[in-house]
Amino acid sequence: MPRRALDYAYLSIAASLLTMALKFGAFFLTGSVGLFSDAVESVVNLTAGLIALLAIVQAQRPADHSHAYGHGKVEYFSSGAEGILICFAAVGIAYASVQRFLYPRPIESLGWGLAVAAIAGAVNLGAALVMLRAAKEFDNIVLEADARHLLTDVWTSVGLVAALGVMLFAPPSWRILDPALGLIMSVNIIWTGVALVRRSVAGLMDEGLPKAELERIAQVILCVGGPEAGFHALRTRKSGAVRFVDFHLLLPGAMTVQQSHDVCCAIEKELGALWPRTQTTIHVEPCEDYASFDGWKVGGLCNGRLIGQKGPRSPGISRK
C-alpha cells in the first residue's frame, strides 16, 4: 500500500508537468490572461505535488523514540502549504487581470488556445478522479487535497474554455471578458486555498473525529461491553490515516482482570474492523465507585452510569 500511495503522488506530478507545458504554450499563442492564470495554477499544482510526495514519504516512517505517535501529522503541513501556495497564485492572477484591464491587449489564435486548454483539462480530470479513489482507499488527506486541487483546476479550465469560445465569435468589445474571467478565477482559487488551510489547522489542533464516527465508537463500546458497561472521557483525533481513540471504560468491579482485558480486546477488534489503522487506549474503572467518574478532568464525551443510579449521559449517543 505505501508504495502505491507514492505512485499516485508521481501521477500528480506527471499530470502537472504535462498540463503546465500545454497551458503555457496556449498562453504564448494567444496572450490570454485567462490562459495565463490557468497556467500559473498548474505551476502551483506541480509544487503541491512535490510537497505531497515528500509528505507521503515522511508520513510512512514508523514511530520512533522522538515521535511515539508516528509522523502522520506531516500530511497536514503538506495540505496547509498547498493551501498557502494556492492563495499566493490567486493574488498573482488577480494582479495580472487588473493589469490587463488597465492595459488591454488583443488576443490571438483563440482556436488553438481553446484546443490546448481542453486537452489540459481532460488530463487533470483523469488524474484527479484516479487520485480521489486512491485517497479514499488509503484514507490519505494529502492525496485528497491534491486531487481536489486538480478538480478545481478542471472546473477553471471548463469556465475558461467556455469564455474563450464566446470571445472567438464575439465582437472586439467582448474582449474584456478575458481579464474579468481572470478575476473570477482568482476568487475561486483563493477559496480553495483557504479551505485547505482551515482543514490543515483543524488536524494540527487535534480536532476530534466526525460526529457519525463518534456515535459508531460509542455503539461499539456499549454493545461489546454489555448492559452494565459505560464510558466517559472519550477523546479522539486523527493523524494522517491513523485514528486515535482513548476513553475510560466502566465495568462491574467484580469482573476479573482477565475478563476486563477480554472486553477491551473485543472493543479494539471491533474498532479495528471499522477503521483498520485505529489505535485504541482504554482505561478500565469500576462502575460502582463514584471516584471512577473523573472524565471531567480530561474532557471528552461521556456515556456512563453508576449501577442503580442515573449518571452523566451525553445526548445523541445511545446503546443499540
What cell was used for 109?
489564435
Q: What is the pLDDT of residue 178?
A: 64
Helices (H) and strands (E) in the chain, counts: 8, 4
Last residue of a domain, one of 204, 238, 267: 204
Banded pLDDT at 316 (limits 50, 70, 90): very low
Is residue 103 domain-resident?
yes
Q: Are residues 185 and 219 in the same domain?
A: no
Is residue 317 domain-resident?
no
Asked if residue 200 has pLDDT above 90, the reply is no
Q: What is the pLDDT of residue 1?
A: 39
Measured CA to CA, the distance from residue 2 to residue 107 in angstroms comes to 47
Last residue of a domain, one of 204, 231, 247: 204
Calculate Rg over the CA atoms of the chain: 26
Q: Are residues 114 and 250 in the same domain?
A: no
The predicted-structure confidence for 270-309, as pLDDT tens digits, reads as follows 999 999 889 999 999 998 887 777 766 667 777 754 333 3
Q: Are residues 74 and 195 in the same domain?
A: yes
Asked if residue 320 has pLDDT above 70, the reply is no
Q: What is the pLDDT of residue 309?
A: 38
Banded pLDDT at 257 (limits 50, 70, 90): very high
Q: Are residues 83 and 224 in the same domain?
A: no
Q: Measure the N-to-C terminal CA separation of the chain; round to a whole number of Å.
A: 35
Is residue 309 domain-resident?
no
Banded pLDDT at 74 (limits 50, 70, 90): confident
Last residue of a domain, one of 170, 204, 238: 204
Q: What is the pLDDT of residue 119?
A: 87
Q: Are residues 196 and 254 in the same domain?
A: no
The dihedral region occupied by 240, where left means phi > 0, alpha psi between -120 and 50, and beta the remainder, is: left
Strands 242-251 and 279-286: parallel
Is residue 77 domain-resident?
yes
Q: Are residues 125 and 181 in the same domain?
A: yes
Q: Are residues 37 and 69 in the same domain?
A: yes
Banded pLDDT at 187 (limits 50, 70, 90): confident
Q: Are residues 119 and 253 in the same domain?
A: no
Domain count, the chain: 2
Q: Are residues 149 and 174 in the same domain?
A: yes
Which residues constitute the domain of residue 294? 211-303
Residue type for position 141: I
User: Between 235 and 93, whose confidence is greater?
Assistant: 235
Q: What is the pTM of this model?
A: 0.63
CATH code of the domain containing 67: 1.20.1510.10
The predicted-structure confidence for 95-107, as pLDDT tens digits, reads as follows 777 776 776 666 5
The predicted-structure confidence for 3-34, as pLDDT tens digits, reads as follows 577 788 888 899 889 988 888 887 787 777 66
CATH code of the domain containing 236: 3.30.70.1350
Q: Are residues 255 and 184 in the same domain?
A: no
Q: Which has the minimum average pLDDT: 69-73, 158-162, 295-299, 316-320? A: 316-320
Banded pLDDT at 251 (limits 50, 70, 90): very high
Q: Are residues 158 and 285 in the same domain?
A: no
